Structure 1
Amino acid sequence: MTGGNKSLEGPLFRAMIRACLLAGRVYTAIVISTGAIAGLALWFPPGKALWQNDAQRNLGFNQFLESLSPKTKEWWINTYGSALAPFIKTALSPHTVESSWYLNCICVDPKYQRQGIATNLIKMVEQKVRCSHSVCYICMISSYLQAMTTSILALCTDTDVNVAVYKALHFQYKGEAPLPTPDNEYIDVHCFTKPGARV
């Protein structure tokens, strides 16, 4: 997503957080003894989406785009969204991103991984969705979670590590699709859903 430029990972993440603080819901897991952030989840409720308007994009995303190489910037503008959209639409049907809760990013500090933090950051919104009868759609930086009528949670991920994580969290594998990269290669995006109460 940064064209291999690791110095842009921080600006990208900060642009996500700022946009979510403006229009979404930020959930954190805090270490009580130190106040450190152990984990973070960025959610957007129905009707909201990451960088859907100038107010959000002006909080760092536009600056991030201008810092990218021309090739990676072109990929963001013309390839990334359009390549994923048909796949996401099919996976979400009959629901849509606009009618869903959307988790754009979830991460846990390596020092605190394997302690149930990510699981609980997901469960917090899963419980909220069950109470509000919304559909829940979750997406990581390189992952998307979708939901069907009988699936509160669903996701797509492009790493084998995350495939194993979501299998351990009892998500059901739903298939995969190729996503072109800025280097004209392809990565497999794997999809999962998690059955829940009918919504």
Structure 2
Amino acid sequence: MSSLAVSVRRLTTITEQTAQSVKAVFEGAYKGDHFTDIMIGSDPTLFGDLHMMCITSGLNTGQVYVAENEEKDIVGVAVWYGPEQGHPLDFTDGAHPILEPFMPKLKPEVQKWWTDVFVPESGRLLGSQFAPDARLAAWYLQDLATAPAYQRQGVARALINEVKKQAAADGRAITAQLATNETKVEIFKKLGFSEIGERVEFTGPAPEEKGFYIRACVMEPTSAPKTLD
């Protein structure tokens, strides 16, 4: 498919209308996603809460960008943490304020998995895969979603290129962790990322169910993109 004409802008606040548009993008992009299903304990009513938690965190301590088509409909969303911006899992005292509104809505066994497995292990991986100093010197892509009708039309690339220009100006790398499958890894490779380290396996709250794995990816400092194709 050819690239879509989109404009990218940063959100610093969010209205209820924009929040609903952002939720719709995430719901479409991650419908049927195994990792997301594990994160919400297979409770579809929590889908919007999970992704709005990421958006709220990005607005508070990171950066949120949206891609809009010519009609100004939001068709893509990216949540970033710039160099030296604190990631929610960077807290060393065990406190994760961004999780507080979301966690009580989960089933008790899923809450326990979040607090005992996913949060501490993800925090450990942020340090071991990128090394704290290296990660804090780079841009970190926390979340990326494109509405299904606009996928494979350059929307994700436009959202990445918006930050790539800023990273290139300072010689910064761009990093990401993918809780994912091989298809998503290949997409990120096409966007310019390379895998680093080994993939790390996770089990879900129910040990007998299929788990997931995390891959670390990096885009080394490069020149600013000239086009969005």
TM-score range, shorter chain: 0.7 to 0.9
1:62 to 92, 97, 100: 100
For residues 189 and 131 of structure 2, the distance between their equivalents in structure 1, rounded to whole angstroms, comes to 22
For residues 98 and 81 of structure 1, the distance between their equivalents in structure 2, rounded to whole angstroms, comes to 19
Size of the aligned set, in residue pairs, is 178
Structure 2 length as normaliser, TM-score? 0.68
> Retained in 2: the 8 A contact 1:3–1:72?
yes
1:47, distance to aligned residue in structure 2 (A): 3.0
**Partner amino acid for 1:105?**
D
For residues 91 and 3 of structure 1, the distance between their equivalents in structure 2, rounded to whole angstroms, comes to 27
2:203 to 163, 167, 180: 180
1:115, distance to aligned residue in structure 2 (A): 0.6
For residues 16 and 194 of structure 1, the distance between their equivalents in structure 2, rounded to whole angstroms, comes to 22
| Root mean square deviation, CA, Å | 2.6
In structure 2, the CA distance between the partners of 1:26 and 1:86, relative to structure 1 (3 Å rule), is closer
> Retained in 2: the 8 A contact 1:22–1:56?
no
1:36 to 73, 91, 103: 73
> Retained in 1: the 8 A contact 2:67–2:76?
yes
Q: What runs of 5+ residues in structure 1 fail to find an aligned partner? A: 139-143, 145-155
For residues 133 and 170 of structure 1, the distance between their equivalents in structure 2, rounded to whole angstroms, comes to 15
Question: Which one has a larger percent strand, Structure 1 or Structure 2?
Answer: 1
In structure 2, the CA distance between the partners of 1:194 and 1:133, relative to structure 1 (3 Å rule), is closer
> Retained in 2: the 8 A contact 1:16–1:50?
no
> Retained in 1: the 8 A contact 2:57–2:88?
yes
**Partner amino acid for 1:120?**
A
For residues 91 and 55 of structure 1, the distance between their equivalents in structure 2, rounded to whole angstroms, comes to 21
1:168 to 167, 190, 197: 190
Question: Match of 2:11?
Answer: none
> Retained in 2: the 8 A contact 1:83–1:179?
no
> Retained in 2: the 8 A contact 1:177–1:190?
yes
Structure 1 length as normaliser, TM-score? 0.77
For residues 82 and 55 of structure 1, the distance between their equivalents in structure 2, rounded to whole angstroms, comes to 11
Tell me the alpha carbon deviations over residues 23-60 of structure 1, each in whole angstroms, 9 at most, x when there is no partner. 22111101222x21000101122232137678962xxx
RCO higher in structure (CA 8 A, sep ≥6): 2
Stretches of 4+ aligned residues off by more than 6 angstroms:
51-55
- Give the match's secondary structure for 1:182: coil
Q: What runs of 5+ residues in structure 2 fail to find an aligned partner? A: 1-38, 224-229
For residues 81 and 136 of structure 1, the distance between their equivalents in structure 2, rounded to whole angstroms, comes to 22
- Give the match's secondary structure for 2:78: strand
- Give the match's secondary structure for 1:178: strand
Between 1:73-82 and 1:178-187, the stretch displaced more is 178-187
- Give the match's secondary structure for 2:86: coil
